[in-house]
Amino acid sequence: MKMKFLWLTGMALVAISAFAATQFVKATDNIQAGGALVASWKEVGLTPGANVTYTLSALTNFTYGCVSGSKKSPTSPSAPVVTGGLSTKSGTWTARGGGSISAILAITPPNPDIILPSCPAGTKPVLAYVSYSGVSLSDGLGGSAPLPDAWAIYYNLT
């Protein structure tokens, strides 16, 4: 009985230390063309073959407007449309033989054609401004990596 208890205690310590040893050694984000926030990272100290679910989250602000074909200015006095809130994207990866995962996740803004389906004739709907704040990447094992806020202006709607 004493032997079983020691063995179970030892197994619990090994399991706890496996999770405690994981760490993000690299985590970055940037905004790509079209306004997508792309996060890339590398996490080490994972159990080889383990499946890990990562979640990228951010408070988003997407501003849309109608612009003429070649001009970067609004065509009508109507107010821009602003959408946003908490956005998340998740994915699951398997740790390689060395116990690491390198991966990429992206949060993408809604398509301008869906947000502004009826722009005036001769204009098109565009994503004018995008911002991501409180950006965070979590691994589902208790680890997380804060990422810098990011924003981009594509059209001046004022």
Residue 65 inside a domain? The answer is: yes
Residue 158 inside a domain? The answer is: no
pTM of the model: 0.80
Residue 11 inside a domain? The answer is: yes
Residue 100 inside a domain? The answer is: yes
Residue 77 inside a domain? The answer is: yes
Residue 9 inside a domain? The answer is: yes
What is the span of the domain harbouring residue 80?
A: 2-153
Predicted confidence pLDDT, tens digits, the chain (158 residues): 544 433 333 333 334 444 457 899 999 999 998 999 999 999 999 999 999 999 999 999 999 988 886 655 555 545 678 888 999 999 999 999 999 999 999 999 999 999 988 888 888 889 999 999 999 999 999 999 999 999 999 988 76
Number of domains in the chain: 1
Q: Could you tell me which of 150, 154, 156 has the C-alpha nearest to residue 56?
A: 150
Residue 30 inside a domain? The answer is: yes
71-100 in b/e form (b: 16+ CB < 10 A) is eeebbeeeeebeebeebebeeebebeeebe
